[in-house]
Amino acid sequence: MTSPEPTGIVVLVSGSGTNLQALIDAAADPAYGVRILAVGADRAGIEGLRRAEAAGIPTLVCRVEDFASRADWDAAFAELIGEHDPAFVVSAGFMKLLGPAVLGRWTVVNTHPALLPAFPGAHAVRDALAAGAAQTGCTVHVVDAGVDTGPVLAQATVDVAGDDTEDTLHERIKAVEHPLLVQIVGRAAREGITVSEGKASIP
């Protein structure tokens, strides 16, 4: 029996790309059903892009500072992503807010290192520690126009230790984040993802 064609995705990164690596590793198995068509970034010279290159995946870089406005950047980014014609987009440690040109064209699945709606924003791990949370974790959700406000697909919990630093806690979050993202992206690819009236579901 031949496997069905894999679902093509574009993955967006801004940094070390360990979540991207987890997806690259999973996609090596044809049964996973995902082909990473390209990796996009908002900056050059990052480990995430090197991981893509090492895996033979095309890369694209679209820097906000190269455009006159955020809207121009958003339109250009959508154009570059569109060249690869993905079924959906995965934001895996991508640190810029996406605009309507991208969000209007694709479902974007994001991973966030906290239990949303707690601790949205760019410093979620630091904020959970500072608040004295006993538990935090990660959330895989669909991106909407807000900051980490889109409908949740799945979450995993991590206990905060008394001696945790931002780095040690983030490492333990990533240990549960990688398999959760792999699981949800695979299911979305194989079974489809529906977003309607602010709710997201994978059958």
List, by residue number, the catalytic residues: 112
Contact flags string 51-90 toward ligand GRF, x per CB under 6 A: ----------------------------------------
Please tell me whether 60 is known to bind a ligand. no
What is the Cα–Cα distance from 110 to 144, expressed in whole angstroms? 10
Side-chain-facing half-sphere of 129: CA atoms under 13 Å: 16
Question: Contact between 136 and ligand GRF (CB under 6 A)?
Answer: no
Give the dihedral of Cα atoms 53, 43, 69, 84; nearest 10 deg. Answer: 10
113 contacts ligand GRF (rule: CB under 6 A): yes
Annotated binding residue 98? yes
Stretch that binds ligand GRF, among 8-16, 51-59, 62-70, 143-151 (CB under 6 A): 8-16
Q: Which spans in the chain are helix H?
A: 18-27, 47-54, 70-82, 100-103, 124-130, 166-191
Question: By C-beta, is 28 or 68 nearer to ligand GRF?
Answer: 28
Please state the closest distance from residue 169 (CB atom) to ligand GRF, in A: 10
- Tell me whether residue 97 is annotated as binding: yes
Contact flag: residue 19 with ligand GRF (CB under 6 A): yes
* Edge-to-edge strands, sheet with 108-112: 59-61, 34-41, 7-13, 88-91, 108-112, 135-142, 152-159
Show binding-site residues.
Answer: 17-19, 70, 95-98, 110
